Chains A and B, each alone.
Chain A
Amino acid sequence: MGTATENESMDSEGTSTQEETFTKVSVWDLPDLPKGKLPPHIELQRTRVLCGSLAPTNTENVNYSGAYAAMGVDNSVRFEQFRDNFKVEIVRLEEDELEFDMIGIDPSLANAFRRILIAELPTMAIEKVLIANNTSIIQDEVLAHRLGLIPIKVDPRLFEYMSENDVPNEKNTIVFKLHVRCTKGSDRLRVLSSELKWLPNGSELILGTEHSASSSSAKPKTYTSFSCSQDTRPEFSDEPIAPKDADIIVAKLGPGQEIELEAHAVKGMGKTHAKWSPVATAWYRMLPEVLLLRDIEDDEAEALVKKCPLKVFDIEDIGKGKKRATVARPRACTLCRECIREEGWDKNVALRRVNDHFIFTIESTGALPPEVLFTEAVKILEEKCERVITELS
């Protein structure tokens, strides 16, 4: 019904003689709506976001199970139905980057995964910096902040959280040392993250109060109390802990300047501070759908191809020297709406987004590979549900 009247309503626009353009049809002559199936225009509303030249419309999802009860359609999602429809397709998987398509899932869940990736997956990051000497022009607190943001390549699952009353030990703290001096008479020196040296035996700085105590004790007390060396753990014996990237500039030293410090990394979550976020970004977009509503040929086709900055459209030859526009790369569309900006073009091109098809991108900072991050994120959502269930019973 909705599609049939489209042309008529276009013609009648501007003319006040609507009575004449509409041929009167008795209600009884109209075709019956098929039961148990949504009519095409409502199906379109349910599954697509429509992008007009001014703003997107129909952006809200219909969740309520009884939304289409009047049409005899059950909108509740049974688990079996979800299981049959849900698909994952990996598009690109690199060391630190993952792009995949998640098809047949509600935005609320896709968003939950994204939020968990950013804010609730733990990593290790430098939290405490003990500065023994800093004569560089970078202030202590700025230096400490810069150190905190350096991603450390270590699996956080091997460590425990350190609560307020805990003493730093080999299970919850990683200690790094940084000691750089720029000798007098030499050029300016760049201090890179590769200068951070892992101390598997813990802190080497002696606690201030210990100086007066008897020097006979075998081991002087330091800022950490490691009971054993971290490099005896099998996970670290072949791969020493280090910053993920060796070439991050931490500071610059002039001749005669020196930095000597110890950095303590602990486990934390992105919601406390962004330095603990395991992803540089995690984001998704809905799959763009670009449709040509009529054949666009020759000059118009050329114009359309030129309009699109992302080269979504292409031209194909249809013989006899005629050319026709085609949609070659709909995935590249960013919905800039440049192609429908000009008057009347929204009648030629339809821009839509598929509601339940997400192009998910995860950029890892390097502590864990991106595919592991995603599975961990899903596990955390499961744990949240489990917590609620146990609290209820």
Chain B
Amino acid sequence: MEHGSFEDQSKATFSLTDEDHTLANAVRFTLNQDPRVTFCGYSIPHPSDARVNIRVQTTGDPAREVFNDSCQDLMLICEHVRGTFDQAVLKFKTGKGLSAMDIKK
């Protein structure tokens, strides 16, 4: 759900249900990395409600687009993390012989 105004689309608050710090903090990171963002932050209005509000203010681009892009960024990062991790596991499993003993410390 998006709370914003029609006149100025560069500022908006996105209210996500069933989400918590896990997603909000990660998205805040990717938002902060975007040069178009002038301000971003998130809050959990009440600990008993499963809801986060993510505030996005931009230099002019629609906040919705910027927010969307940073979610995409986060997905790309995750995909890369998964790929790199799987490769590392595969490498470790194949190279697991006597050499693996030395690493253990």
Contacts and interface: CB of A to CB of B under 8 A. Distances in A.
Interface in B75-92: 75-82, 84-89, 91-92
Interface stretch (A59-67, A137-145, A342-350): A59-67
11 contacts: A87-B84, A88-B87, A91-B104, A102-B81, A108-B28, A112-B22, A119-B22, A374-B85, A382-B79, A392-B14, A392-B68
B25 A108 contact: yes
A226 B87 CA distance: 40
B88 A112 contact: no
A115 B21 contact: yes
Contact of A63 (B19, B33, B84, B87): B33
Q: Is the interface of B mostly helix, strand, loop or mixed?
A: helix
A116 B25 CA distance: 13
Interface string B1-39: 010000000000010100111110111110011110100
Nearest to A369: B89
A65 B34 contact: yes
Nearest to B81: A378
B85 A66 contact: no
B46 interface: no
Contact of A381 (B72, B74, B86, B104): B74
B23 A384 contact: yes
Interface string A358-393: 000000000000010011001101101110110111
A79 interface: yes
B62 to A, nearest CB: 11
Contact of B29 (A100, A106, A384, A393): A106
A92 B29 CA distance: 30
Residue picked from A66, A111, A375, A388, most chain B C-beta under 10 Å: A388
Contact of A86 (B28, B64, B84): B84
A interface residue count range (under 10 / 10 to 19 / 20 to 34 / 35 or more): 35 or more
Nearest to B69: A389
A90 B92 contact: yes
B71 interface: yes
A329 B105 contact: yes
B98 interface: no
A20 B88 CA distance: 58
A82 B77 CA distance: 8
Contact of B86 (A79, A375, A389): A375
* Secondary structure class of chain A's binding surface, majority of residues: helix
B33 A89 contact: no
Interface of A: 63-66, 74-77, 79, 82-83, 86-93, 100, 102, 105-106, 108-109, 111-113, 115-116, 119-120, 329, 331-332, 371, 374-375, 378-379, 381-382, 384-386, 388-389, 391-393
Given A88-B85, A392-B64, 8 more contacts: A63-B28, A63-B29, A76-B34, A106-B29, A108-B25, A332-B105, A379-B78, A388-B19
A64 B74 CA distance: 16
Contact of B75 (A63, A115, A386, A393): A386
A388 B32 contact: no
Nearest to B80: A83
B35 A76 contact: yes
A381 B103 contact: no
Contacts of B64: 392
Contacts of B33: 63, 65, 75-77
B71 A388 contact: yes
Contact of B103 (A92, A115, A386): A92
A388 B93 CA distance: 36
Given A83-B80, A86-B81, A381 B93 contact: no
